[in-house]
């Protein structure tokens, strides 16, 4: 039986095969897929890492006689503004580079894209010439250029915004009027852009800060604050008013702190909540937004960075019908995510789960969540008392702050309920002595607390740019690495920084001290032993402390020694 021979390759595909950049079958498959997905052939090859962008550019240049241009030599500020509409740039994956008289030079990665030149010529009325560039650089340059067209408020001339008037009147129900007023458009766009930029960059907090002569906006990304914008100080009151309107706060009240929330819908299925707090300062209201992403509670325990033994202890404690699990650490150390990860595991139709929080940070379907409010007399202890009359299986208390709350929580843990809560202490052993100092009887602590998790968050090294470094053996010993670890050998990495990360770090990883309360520890607690004695017992039983866990993350190449020292070294 005769089989029809495949049609010969033509154009760019043929050239790339002749130049040994890709194999013939790969070229045929890529051509079909690029047509199916409606993306340029070169873009498909680069996006799927089938060929080197630079080699493709020079091969295409030789085939079509179009010059190759280095996009790194042009900044977004040099590109003519708004000369080509965004939809055309995205549709044809083409970027206007510069204008010479009546000629417009267009950067493309695929010189066969003649439709792009014709359509841009029609819309601009200018003659168009193609300039060939590397596909990966074109993609990033297009995004940077389009981002720069959304003019940040810090770049506005004061005169442009001088007439904007968002006066904080006595009427607090002016949400629709305030948001629809055309004069507010630059303020509204600017704040919306700040919120979206914060989400895109993975920030946890946004700080809007007025000073005597300046105003700044900072994002906390991977635990570190970075300045991102400096709008005019003349706009401080207007920015505060807009944020307060969005948070449904009283815009006329500037003398006392206020708490509110903003819900930002990103799509039909995804929404981000912001917890908002205003603080009257010497030069105006400082406003901080905490970004609350409900999906963070559904990452799963494997994504949090627990070592296998630590994860097993946490899961075993969650599987118990009663007892108390305490999570401890400073503000911003990930305690809420750890607790909600546990609650998510427990969240089944067979369990009645209630939480008391100040305020509720993450909304979870199937869990009864209560916002405590001291103004109306609903504090942690009164909420906890109410829970115990509601036939609970699992109770979560946002924080144990006083003896009354601690006593009720411990009694609940002793009477057939699983209790989860947090304390502000530095380590697991200190948590036990903190409860004793509150006035909780040692016997009650020993018989109710089943597991303590102390935690920190360290910045995760960027896999794209981390660099190996050498450290003398003596220094490794001084840092706390064991002789066995040094003898076995491991690689140390340091941060460098690239286009895909922030200062060499991207994301964060949890560092944990997980301590199970064993019979030997119960005896120490009954004797009212110090945190130092309890820590020695924890070490004897093989529970890694925070420092040891941090060094383990360094050995695994997840973080740098410098970062481990920042979060765990005394």
Confidence band of 357 (pLDDT split at 50, 70, 90): confident
The residue with greater pLDDT, 61 or 212, is: 212
Q: What is the mean pLDDT of residues 192-209?
A: 90
Share of the chain above pLDDT 70, in %: 89
Q: Where are the alpha helices (DSSP H) in 181-249?
A: 185-200, 236-246
The order of strands in the sheet holding 394-397 is: 368-371, 353-357, 394-397, 418-423, 323-328, 449-461, 505-516
Neighbouring-strand partners of residue 121: none
Q: Considering only CA atoms, which of 570, 568, 562 is closest in space to residue 469?
A: 562
Weakest mean pLDDT among 14-28, 343-357, 423-437: 14-28
Position 156 scores a pLDDT of 41
Q: What is the mean pLDDT of the chain?
A: 83
Pairwise CA distance, residues 455 & 469, whole Å: 27
Q: Considering only CA atoms, which of 52, 49, 64, 54 is closest in space to residue 14?
A: 64
Confidence band of 6 (pLDDT split at 50, 70, 90): low
Q: Where are the alpha helices (DSSP H) in 48-205?
A: 53-64, 86-92, 114-124, 135-149, 158-161, 175-180, 185-200
Does this model's pTM top 0.85? Answer: no
* Whether pLDDT at 423 is above 80: yes
Position 153 scores a pLDDT of 43
> Residue 91: which residues within 8 A CB-CB, separation 6 or more?
116
18, 24 contact by CB (below 8 A):
no
* Whether pLDDT at 407 is above 60: yes
Confidence band of 297 (pLDDT split at 50, 70, 90): low
Q: Considering only CA atoms, which of 195, 204, 194 is closest in space to residue 459?
A: 204
Weakest mean pLDDT among 275-284, 299-308, 437-446: 299-308
DSSP character at residue 4: P
Pairwise CA distance, residues 161 & 184, whole Å: 9
Highest mean pLDDT among 268-282, 366-380, 550-564: 550-564
Confidence band of 145 (pLDDT split at 50, 70, 90): confident
Position 314 scores a pLDDT of 94
> Residue 7: which residues within 8 A CB-CB, separation 6 or more?
none
Q: What is the mean pLDDT of residues 332-357?
A: 89
Structure tokens at 288: 């901080």
Q: Residues 327-339: pLDDT tens digits?
A: 998 887 888 888 9
Confidence band of 169 (pLDDT split at 50, 70, 90): very low
Confidence band of 94 (pLDDT split at 50, 70, 90): confident
Q: What is the mean pLDDT of residues 488-500?
A: 85
Q: What is the mean pLDDT of residues 441-469?
A: 91
Weakest mean pLDDT among 112-116, 134-138, 153-157, 409-413: 153-157
Q: E strands, 348-397, where?
A: 353-357, 368-371, 394-397
Q: What is the mean pLDDT of residues 318-322?
A: 93
Confidence band of 162 (pLDDT split at 50, 70, 90): very low
* Whether pLDDT at 283 is above 80: yes
184, 268 contact by CB (below 8 A):
no
> Residue 329: which residues within 8 A CB-CB, separation 6 or more?
335, 422, 424, 426, 454, 455, 456
Q: What is the CA radius of gyration of the chain?
A: 30
Largest CA distance in the chain: 92
């Amino acid at each position: 039986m005769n089989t029809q021979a495949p049609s010969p390759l033509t154009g760019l595909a043929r050239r790339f095969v002749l130049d040994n950049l890709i194999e013939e079958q790969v070229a045929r498959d890529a051509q079909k897929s690029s047509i199916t997905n409606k993306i340029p052939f070169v873009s498909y090859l680069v996006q799927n890492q089938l060929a080197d962008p630079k080699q493709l550019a020079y091969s295409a240049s030789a085939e079509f006689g179009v010059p190759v241009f280095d996009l790194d030599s042009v900044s977004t500020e040099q590109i003519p503004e708004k000369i080509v509409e965004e939809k055309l740039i995205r549709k044809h994956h083409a970027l206007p580079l510069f204008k010479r008289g009546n000629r417009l030079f267009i950067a493309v990665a695929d010189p066969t894209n003649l439709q792009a030149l014709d359509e841009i010529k029609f819309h601009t009325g200018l003659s168009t010439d193609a300039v060939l560039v590397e596909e990966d650089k074109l993609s990033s340059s297009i995004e940077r250029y389009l981002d720069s067209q959304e003019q940040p408020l810090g770049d506005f001339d004061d005169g442009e915004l001088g007439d904007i008037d968002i006066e904080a009147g006595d009427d607090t129900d002016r949400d629709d009027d305030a948001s629809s007023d055309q004069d507010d458009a630059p303020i509204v766009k600017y704040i919306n852009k700040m919120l979206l930029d914060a989400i895109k960059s993975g920030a946890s907090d946004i700080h809007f800060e007025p000073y005597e002569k300046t105003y700044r906006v900072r994002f906390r990304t991977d635990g570190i604050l970075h300045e991102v914008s400096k709008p005019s100080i003349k706009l401080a009151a207007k920015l505060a008013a807009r944020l307060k309107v969005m948070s449904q706060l009283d815009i006329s009240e500037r003398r006392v702190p206020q708490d509110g929330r903003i819900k930002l819908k990103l799509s039909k299925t995804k929404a981000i909540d912001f917890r908002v707090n205003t603080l009257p300062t010497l030069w105006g209201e400082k406003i901080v937004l905490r970004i609350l992403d409900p999906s963070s509670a559904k990452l799963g325990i494997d994504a949090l960075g627990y070592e296998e033994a630590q994860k097993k202890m946490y899961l075993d404690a969650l599987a118990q019908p009663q007892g108390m699990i305490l999570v401890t650490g400073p503000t911003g150390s990930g305690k809420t995510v750890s607790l909600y990860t546990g609650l998510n595991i427990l969240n089944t139709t067979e369990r009645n789960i209630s939480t008391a929080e100040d305020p509720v940070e993450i909304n979870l379907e199937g869990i009864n969540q209560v916002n405590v409010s001291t103004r109306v007399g609903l504090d942690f202890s009164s909420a906890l008392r109410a829970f115990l009359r509601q036939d609970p299986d699992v109770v979560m208390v946002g924080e144990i702050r006083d003896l009354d709350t601690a006593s009720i929580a411990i009694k609940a843990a002793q009477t057939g309920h699983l209790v989860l809560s947090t304390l502000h202490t530095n380590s697991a052993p200190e948590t036990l002595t903190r409860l004793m100092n509150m006035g909780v009887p040692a016997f009650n602590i020993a018989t109710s607390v089943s597991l303590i998790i102390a935690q920190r968050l360290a910045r995760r090294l960027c896999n794209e740019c981390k660099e190996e470094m050498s450290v003398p053996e003596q220094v490794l010993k001084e840092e706390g690495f064991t002789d066995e670890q040094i003898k076995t050998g491991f690689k140390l990495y340091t941060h460098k920084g690239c286009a895909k990360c922030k200062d060499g770090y991207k994301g964060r990883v949890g560092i944990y001290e997980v301590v199970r309360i064993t019979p030997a520890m119960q005896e120490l607690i009954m004797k009212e032993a110090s945190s130092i004695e309890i820590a020695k017992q924890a070490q004897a039983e093989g529970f890694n402390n925070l420092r040891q866990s941090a060094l383990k993350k360094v050995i695994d190449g997840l973080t740098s020694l410098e970062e481990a020292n920042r979060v765990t070294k005394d």
